[in-house]
Amino acid sequence: MFIHAVLLEIKPKQVRAYRRDSAMWARYAARVKGFISCYTLKRDNARNQFMSVYLWKTKAGHLEFMKKYHNWLAQRSRTKAKVLGEYYNFTVMDQFKR
């Protein structure tokens, strides 16, 4: 499994737009083979910080999404967001389920 995450700073007035944009991004991610799920998270211990997390079966699925849709979706997004740090990419090493 491959996980892509981006940490954002979003002003309170922009949260509604961010949630709408997140849903739009998820709809397009779902069109790409290997998409598992998308999460929109609010950071509990920091003000105005949110994270968008995408889970893919493989890194190749993520790269296909980035190539096909990333720039196009970025132009259509209405949220005024500041990316904090870098984009975070993870490959699952171990997985434990109940």
The tens digit of pLDDT for each residue in 15-63 reads: 999 999 999 999 999 999 999 999 999 999 999 999 999 999 999 999 9
Secondary structure of 39-82 in HEC code, one letter for each residue: EEEECCCCCCEEEEEEEECCHHHHHHHHHHHHHHHHHHCCCCEE
pTM, rounded to two decimals: 0.88
CB 7 within 8 A of CB 88: yes
Position 79 in a domain:
yes
Residue 44's domain comprises: 2-91
Position 97 in a domain:
no
Look at the chain and report how many structural domains it folds into. 1
Position 76 in a domain:
yes
- Output the domain CATH number for residue 66: 3.30.70.100
Position 43 in a domain:
yes
Position 26 in a domain:
yes
DSSP state of 14: G
